[in-house]
A and B are shown apart, each in its own frame.
Chain A
Amino acid sequence: MNGYTGKLLFVNLTTGEISDRELNRAYAADYLGGSGLAARYLYDWLDASTDPLGPENPLVFMNGPLDAAGAPVSGRFAVCARAPQTGLWGEAIAGNFFGPELKYAGYDGIVIRGQANAPCYLHITPDGVEIRDAQRLCGMTTFDAGDAIRAERDDPHLVTACIGPAGENLVKFALILTSSARAGAKKGIAGRCGMGAVMGSKNLKAVAVRGSKHPLQHKLHLHDPARFRAAMTGAQHFLSDDMATEVLRAVGSSGALDYYGLLGDVPTKYWTSGTFDYGKVSGNLLAETILTGRATCHACMVACGRKVERAGDYILPHAEGPELETLAGFGALILNDDLHLATYIGSQCDSLGLDSISTGSTIAFAYYLRELGVLPPGDLNGIELVWGDGNGALQLVRDIAHRRGFGAVLANGSRELGARYGVEGLAVQINGMEVAMHDPRAATGMAVTYATSPIGGSHNHSDYFMVETSGRPIDELGIETHDRFACAGKAASIARHQDWRTVNNASVTCFFPNPPAQAMVEMLAAATGYDITTQNVLSYGERIWNLKRAINLKLGYCARRAEVLPELICRPLLDGGTEGHVPEFDLMMREYYAYRDWDWMTGKPTQKKLRALGMQDIAADVWKSP
């Protein structure tokens, strides 16, 4: 099966049963891999009664057809389940070397069911799969657990996906962190949706995988190797001369913070201000002062990962530095201009196993409620939350991970924090997911992107702000640029961009470097043998997008109640780069629904649309009588 190993690993932690099963070829042909293929499997297994933290919620790791083929920007994987944070479809995408290594071990994915009666980890090599005791790993950080497993197995080549204390304590936005002992390897963060909590609910501390020591034994079969190589070479040449590659390598993703700050893209003082000295907590200052090296995922030409051994007095575990979202969340969002402290707080999130976006946003919401006088100081057990002082945030990060004190409240996210004090509407979240660090008032397309994302307020299903702020269209896919403040006439480009990024998340490829779409499509077609062209590739993305919508409908999604822009984002800012603009949300959403061919009242894709996408069985489910 070209581009795939043709095999999935099924593990039941309740019974201890381990088995290999053939990959469903029809599913792969329609949904490719990564979160697309995982969604097709999970559509069959999830329903409204599935407890996200119960043994019946399958946790699926899935790589993609470009993993391990050497394609630039490939080397990622998806981890999917019903999300504890939202109750909806959950997926997180991460890099490092885990996805390709799983493929080298002979698997396209892992399906984990059940719940172990004691802490365990999964050990996968070409020699076999075993469930091993992880009692001594309990309480360890993500980094330490990975290192301990490599030491225990005396196998430095193991790539690990671990949870930290946050995952063990079922924090609703706990992450899974992948690491390896390779020099210059970048951490992989499967951050959003609380997939780490799902793992923790199964008593699964880690998945450790090593591919064959003899790579030829598991050589990946490509449909047309010569065509693949030609497309790959073209993509590599493009990237080597691309300014974005150079910028990301030099200053990392957070190097954009100075620029985005000028545009008003960086949420500041919990979305209530547009003014901050963004350069004081950005990748540019970091590169000039504390950067000690760069780090990379598999087959990457960019190396956007930041290595920082120490930030002032703080020592960073595995010398893993921050990305944009982390520095924004623990910088501008709480008005903290201490780069060292923001960097260290981010490293603590990674280490303790917390999604830094949701963590930073929930904590910033607490700062805001404290300022409003809604949150009484007595509830904080002596922790001071004052704009500009990040020390309170650091303490809360530790308390959230261990569900201690007020951290136990914050561990359920900002929606529940708001509800506790009767101000749920002030929480900047969508469907329970904290909105990412890109303000829709600066690039209006993000309003629709966030509201319609299948996982909540995420930028991982379309980084449309990049199109709007870079002015970089994708001509061959009909993705156009518009004025960043414009609202009318933008919906088709947003939807097409979502479809393209959905193909990326199925392939599974990174959003940061952007080789020409033509080259990526060529590689996908050459690897798999599927009839994928630039003319039809978006239909793959659209099919998967509609499938995830169908899953959410199955799980009880109510579109008209769910697709609401948070109140604070609807307020114009009098200062900063948003220039007083707010998205005309209703107009944009109605245009979006018309383009998607979705029913406004129910939020359902029409039968006609689903059938046109070859989803007859899904159409029947979606439109069956209650």
Chain B
Amino acid sequence: MSKVRFPSEEWVKELEKELNSSQAYADAAKNWEGDFYFVISPDKDHQVQETTYLYMDLWRGKCREAYLVKDKDAKQPAFIMSGPYSKWQRVVTAQLDPLQGLMTGQLKLKGNMVMVMKNVKAAQEMVKACTRIDAEFLSE
């Protein structure tokens, strides 16, 4: 199977499959309710030219749909997590804990902070799912 580029429609679809086949994610995220924009912006270290918006509808341990969004106004998700490409690469390869990324200002989050703080295990399982995707990064 060939590698899928991060970020891309293919990559987020792979993540959707991984989440929906993970019992560990289903258990950890059973109380999670809220859709997301994951916003990957250009940074100085890489050749990303445009900001990418990945939409994921996460609901009670399942991912109901996921796709790349061309028009950022197409959705008004409950959560928007954003950061430069290099930081996202570290997150999806499990080199940067997403909560650490937020606390250190490497990533930004808008949304209900209570929901986020009580579902940190779901975030960890999501990162584990990311690492199971055979992804290709611009730096490789």
Q: Do A and B bind?
A: yes
Interface, chain A (partner B; CB < 8 A): 242-244, 246-247, 250-251, 255-256, 258-259, 262, 279, 282-285, 287-288, 469-472
- Cβ–Cβ contact A282 & B118, under 8 A: yes
Whole-angstrom distance between the Cβ of A578 and the nearest chain B Cβ: 16
Whole-angstrom distance between the Cβ of B85 and the nearest chain A Cβ: 19
Chain B residues with CB below 8 A from A287, complex form? 114
Question: In this assembly, does B80 line the interface, its C-beta being within 8 Å of a C-beta of chain A?
Answer: no
- Cβ–Cβ contact B104 & A472, under 8 A: yes
Query: Which listed residue, A244, A258, A471, touches B118 by the CB 8 Å rule?
Result: A258
Interface, chain B (partner A; CB < 8 A): 96-97, 99-100, 102-105, 108-109, 113-114, 117-121, 124
- Cβ–Cβ contact B117 & A259, under 8 A: yes
Chain A residues with CB below 8 A from B119, complex form? 258
- Cβ–Cβ contact B117 & A250, under 8 A: yes
CA distance A563 to B99 in the complex (A): 34
Chain A residues with CB below 8 A from B104, complex form? 470-472
- Cβ–Cβ contact A470 & B114, under 8 A: no
CA distance A472 to B114 in the complex (A): 21
Closest A residue to B109 by beta carbon equals A243
Closest B residue to A255 by beta carbon equals B117
Closest A residue to B116 by beta carbon equals A247
- Cβ–Cβ contact B113 & A471, under 8 A: no
Given A243-B105, A259-B120, A262-B121: A471 and B114 within 8 A (CB)? no
CA distance A246 to B109 in the complex (A): 10
The secondary-structure label for the interface of chain A is helix
Closest B residue to A242 by beta carbon equals B105
Closest B residue to A473 by beta carbon equals B104
Chain A residues with CB below 8 A from B100, complex form? 469-472
Whole-angstrom distance between the Cβ of A10 and the nearest chain B Cβ: 44
| A-B pairs with lowest CB-CB distance, top 10 | A250-B113, A284-B118, A471-B100, A470-B103, A259-B120, A243-B102, A255-B117, A472-B104, A287-B114, A284-B117
- Cβ–Cβ contact B120 & A250, under 8 A: no
Can you spell out 12 A-B residue pairs with CB atoms less than 8 angstroms apart? A243-B102, A251-B113, A251-B117, A259-B99, A262-B120, A262-B121, A284-B114, A284-B118, A285-B118, A288-B118, A471-B104, A472-B100
Given contacts A243-B105, A251-B114, A255-B114, 19 further A-B pairs with CB under 8 A are A243-B103, A243-B109, A247-B113, A250-B113, A250-B117, A251-B113, A255-B117, A256-B117, A258-B118, A258-B120, A259-B117, A259-B120, A279-B118, A284-B117, A471-B96, A471-B97, A471-B100, A471-B103, A471-B104
CA distance A287 to B109 in the complex (A): 19
CA distance A250 to B118 in the complex (A): 12
Whole-angstrom distance between the Cβ of A374 and the nearest chain B Cβ: 36
CA distance A250 to B109 in the complex (A): 13
Closest A residue to B100 by beta carbon equals A471
CA distance A259 to B97 in the complex (A): 11
- Cβ–Cβ contact A247 & B121, under 8 A: no
Chain A residues with CB below 8 A from B102, complex form? 243
The secondary-structure label for the interface of chain B is helix
Closest B residue to A286 by beta carbon equals B114
Chain B residues with CB below 8 A from A255, complex form? 113-114, 117
Chain B residues with CB below 8 A from A247, complex form? 103, 113, 117
Whole-angstrom distance between the Cβ of A19 and the nearest chain B Cβ: 48
Whole-angstrom distance between the Cβ of A442 and the nearest chain B Cβ: 14
Chain A residues with CB below 8 A from B114, complex form? 250-251, 255, 284, 287-288
Whole-angstrom distance between the Cβ of B81 and the nearest chain A Cβ: 11
CA distance A168 to B105 in the complex (A): 46
Whole-angstrom distance between the Cβ of A317 and the nearest chain B Cβ: 25
Given A262-B124, A471-B97: A243 and B117 within 8 A (CB)? no
CA distance A287 to B117 in the complex (A): 11
CA distance A387 to B97 in the complex (A): 33
Closest A residue to B31 by beta carbon equals A279
CA distance A623 to B108 in the complex (A): 53
Chain A residues with CB below 8 A from B120, complex form? 258-259, 262
Given A250-B113, A471-B97: A243 and B108 within 8 A (CB)? yes
Closest B residue to A285 by beta carbon equals B118
Whole-angstrom distance between the Cβ of A238 and the nearest chain B Cβ: 9
Whole-angstrom distance between the Cβ of B83 and the nearest chain A Cβ: 12
Chain A residues with CB below 8 A from B99, complex form? 259
- Cβ–Cβ contact A246 & B113, under 8 A: yes
Chain B residues with CB below 8 A from A472, complex form? 100, 103-104
Whole-angstrom distance between the Cβ of B97 and the nearest chain A Cβ: 7
CA distance A255 to B119 in the complex (A): 11
Chain A residues with CB below 8 A from B113, complex form? 246-247, 250-251, 255
Chain B residues with CB below 8 A from A285, complex form? 118
CA distance A246 to B100 in the complex (A): 14
Whole-angstrom distance between the Cβ of B40 and the nearest chain A Cβ: 18
Closest A residue to B107 by beta carbon equals A243
Whole-angstrom distance between the Cβ of A31 and the nearest chain B Cβ: 32
Whole-angstrom distance between the Cβ of A321 and the nearest chain B Cβ: 15
Chain A residues with CB below 8 A from B124, complex form? 262
- Cβ–Cβ contact B105 & A258, under 8 A: no
CA distance A285 to B114 in the complex (A): 8
The listed residue with most B CB atoms (<10 A of its CB), out of A244, A255, A284, is A284
Closest A residue to B110 by beta carbon equals A246
Closest A residue to B120 by beta carbon equals A259
Closest B residue to A249 by beta carbon equals B113
Given A243-B108, A243-B109, A471-B97: A258 and B117 within 8 A (CB)? yes
Whole-angstrom distance between the Cβ of A390 and the nearest chain B Cβ: 21
CA distance A262 to B119 in the complex (A): 11
Closest A residue to B113 by beta carbon equals A250
Whole-angstrom distance between the Cβ of B131 and the nearest chain A Cβ: 17
Whole-angstrom distance between the Cβ of B29 and the nearest chain A Cβ: 13
Whole-angstrom distance between the Cβ of B110 and the nearest chain A Cβ: 9
The listed residue with most B CB atoms (<10 A of its CB), out of A243, A247, A262, A471, is A243
Closest A residue to B97 by beta carbon equals A471
- Cβ–Cβ contact B103 & A244, under 8 A: yes
The listed residue with most B CB atoms (<10 A of its CB), out of A244, A247, A251, A283, is A247
The listed residue with most A CB atoms (<10 A of its CB), out of B104, B114, B119, is B114
CA distance A262 to B108 in the complex (A): 22
Chain B residues with CB below 8 A from A282, complex form? 118
CA distance A243 to B103 in the complex (A): 6
CA distance A288 to B118 in the complex (A): 10
Whole-angstrom distance between the Cβ of B80 and the nearest chain A Cβ: 13
Whole-angstrom distance between the Cβ of B55 and the nearest chain A Cβ: 22
Chain B residues with CB below 8 A from A258, complex form? 117-121
Chain A residues with CB below 8 A from B97, complex form? 471
CA distance A242 to B107 in the complex (A): 11
Whole-angstrom distance between the Cβ of A48 and the nearest chain B Cβ: 44
CA distance A419 to B97 in the complex (A): 43
CA distance A148 to B54 in the complex (A): 59
Chain B residues with CB below 8 A from A243, complex form? 102-103, 105, 108-109
Chain A residues with CB below 8 A from B105, complex form? 242-243
CA distance A392 to B109 in the complex (A): 42
Closest B residue to A250 by beta carbon equals B113
